[in-house]
C-alpha cells in the first residue's frame, strides 16, 4: 500500500513560477487521495496567493493555504509540518517544476535507501539570455564547487540535498527547522540528521527543474545573502556549513589583500597577482567551454567573479556584524 504524503511549499511573491509548479504537481503519478499540498505564504504582495486560491477552491481536500507571519522558509516549514497529517513530508520549492514521478520516486528511495532525508538532481533553466548564462554557471564546478545535486550524475549518500523528503516522526527526534536562520535551513537540518547518526541520500532517479535568477544584480544579491548567512549559520551552529562555502571568502580576501601584499613585499604582491591571473585563466577556460556564442561567453566571464566576490563580500559583512554584535554584548 502506498504511503500518505504531505507536500509543503513555502511561497513569497512567486507569481511568475507558482502556476507551473502547481501544474507539474497535478501531473504526478502518485495517488492524489494520498497527498495533501500545503502552501505556506509569507505575505506575498503579488498574485501568488490569488493563483493558489484558484486551485484551492477547485480542490479543497487537496490544497491548503496557510499564513507565515515570519516570512522565512524555515518558519514556513515548521508551520507546514505542524499542520501536516500524513506519514511523509516532502518539501518543494515554488521556483521549480517537477518530473511526473517526483513524489513516487522520493517515497520509493526514502524506503529503499534507509536514509532519513532523500533528494534529487536539479536541472537549472531560465527564460532570458542572461538567465540562461546564470543557469550554465550554476551547473558548473567552477561556479558552485562540489554542489552534488547541481553537478553530479551519481546516486549516493551525501552531506545535504535540496528540499528533502522526510518521515514526519523524524522531527520529533531531532526537532524542527531552525527559525533563527533566514538561509541555509536545509544545511542545518541535514547537519542535525548526520549528527544524530542518520543518512542523507541523493538519487539520480529524481529530477526537478529549478528556475534561477534572471539578472546579474539578482544573482549577485542571492550570492551576497548566501555568503552572509553562511557565516551566521556557521557561528550559530558550528559544523553545519562545509569548507567549500568559505572558498569565496578566501578568494575575496586574497583579491582585497593584493595592495597590502605589495606594501609588505613586491614578491608577495606578485604571488597575489599570479593567483588572480590564474583565476582569470580558469574563468576564461570555463566561459569558453560552456558556450560558443560570444554574448554568452562575455556574460559568463563577468558572472563568475561577480558571483564569487558577491558571496565573499557577504561573508565578510557577516563576520563584521558577528564581531560587532559580540563586542556590544561584552560591553553590557
In this model, does residue 148 exceed pLDDT 70?
A: no
- Segment 164-199, tens digit of pLDDT: 999 999 999 999 999 999 988 998 999 999 999 999
- The answer to whether residues 11 and 105 belong to one domain is yes
- The answer to whether residues 286 and 176 belong to one domain is no
Q: What are phi and psi of 8, to 5 degrees?
A: -115, 125
Q: What are phi and psi of 86, to 5 degrees?
A: -105, 175
In this model, does residue 330 exceed pLDDT 60?
A: no
In this model, does residue 18 exceed pLDDT 90?
A: yes
Length of the chain: 332
Q: List C-alpha distances in Å: 328 to 9, 110, 264, 322, 325.
A: 38, 46, 33, 10, 5
- The answer to whether residues 158 and 11 belong to one domain is yes
- The answer to whether residues 186 and 269 belong to one domain is no
Q: Domain boundary residue among 164, 182, 213?
A: 213
Domains: count for the chain: 2
**CA max distance for the chain:** 71
How many C-beta atoms lie closer than 10 Å to residue 156's C-beta? 12
- The answer to whether residues 171 and 288 belong to one domain is no
Q: Domain boundary residue among 213, 247, 280?
A: 213
Confidence band, pLDDT 50/70/90 cuts, at residue 152 = low
pLDDT in the model for residue 155: 86
CATH of the domain at 51: 3.90.550.10
C-beta of residue 101 within 8 angstroms of C-beta of residue 18: no
- The answer to whether residues 182 and 240 belong to one domain is no
Question: Which helix or strand (DSSP H or E) is residue 109 part of?
Answer: helix 102-113
pLDDT in the model for residue 151: 62
In this model, does residue 328 exceed pLDDT 60?
A: no
- The answer to whether residues 135 and 26 belong to one domain is yes
- The answer to whether residues 61 and 143 belong to one domain is yes
C-beta of residue 90 within 8 angstroms of C-beta of residue 7: yes
- The answer to whether residues 201 and 240 belong to one domain is no
Domain residues for the domain of 301 are: 234-331
Residue the block writes with cell 564569487:
308
C-beta of residue 2 within 8 angstroms of C-beta of residue 107: yes
Instruction: State the cell numbers at 138.
Output: 550554476
C-beta of residue 240 within 8 angstroms of C-beta of residue 180: no
Amino acid at each position: 500500500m502506498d504511503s500518505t504524503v504531505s507536500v509543503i511549499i513555502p511561497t513569497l511573491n512567486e507569481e511568475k513560477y507558482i502556476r507551473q509548479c502547481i501544474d507539474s504537481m497535478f501531473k504526478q503519478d502518485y495517488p492524489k487521495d494520498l497527498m495533501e499540498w500545503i502552501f505556506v505564504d509569507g505575505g506575498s504582495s503579488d498574485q501568488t496567493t490569488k493563483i493558489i486560491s484558484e486551485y484551492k477552491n477547485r480542490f479543497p481536500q487537496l490544497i491548503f493555504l496557510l499564513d507565515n507571519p515570519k516570512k522565512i522558509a524555515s518558519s514556513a516549514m515548521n508551520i507546514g509540518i505542524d499542520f501536516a497529517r500524513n506519514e511523509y513530508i516532502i518539501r518543494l520549492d515554488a521556483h521549480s517544476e517537477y518530473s511526473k514521478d517526483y513524489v513516487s520516486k522520493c517515497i520509493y528511495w526514502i524506503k529503499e535507501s534507509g536514509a532519513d532525508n532523500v533528494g534529487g538532481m536539479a536541472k537549472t533553466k531560465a527564460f532570458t539570455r542572461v538567465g540562461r548564462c546564470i543557469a550554465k554557471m550554476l551547473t558548473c564546478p567552477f561556479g558552485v564547487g562540489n554542489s552534488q545535486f547541481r553537478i553530479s550524475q551519481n546516486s549516493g549518500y551525501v552531506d545535504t540535498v535540496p528540499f528533502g523528503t522526510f518521515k514526519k516522526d523524524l522531527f520529533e527526534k531531532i526537532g524542527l527547522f531552525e527559525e533563527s536562520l533566514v538561509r541555509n535551513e536545509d544545511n542545518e537540518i541535514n547537519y542535525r540528521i548526520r549528527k544524530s547518526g542518520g543518512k542523507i541520500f541523493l538519487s539520480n532517479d529524481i529530477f526537478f527543474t529549478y528556475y534561477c535568477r534572471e539578472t546579474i544584480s539578482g544573482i549577485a544579491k542571492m550570492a551576497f545573502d548566501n555568503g552572509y548567512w553562511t557565516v551566521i549559520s556557521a557561528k550559530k551552529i558550528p559544523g553545519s556549513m562545509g569548507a567549500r562555502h568559505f572558498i569565496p571568502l578566501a578568494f575575496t580576501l586574497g583579491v582585497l589583500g593584493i595592495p597590502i601584499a605589495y606594501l609588505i613585499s613586491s614578491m608577495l604582491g606578485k604571488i597575489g597577482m599570479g593567483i588572480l591571473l590564474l583565476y582569470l585563466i580558469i574563468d576564461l577556460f570555463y566561459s569558453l567551454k560552456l558556450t560558443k556564442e560570444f554574448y554568452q561567453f562575455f556574460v559568463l566571464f563577468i558572472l563568475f567573479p561577480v558571483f564569487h566576490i558577491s558571496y565573499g563580500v557577504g561573508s565578510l559583512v557577516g563576520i563584521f556584524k558577528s564581531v560587532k554584535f559580540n563586542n556590544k554584548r561584552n560591553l553590557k
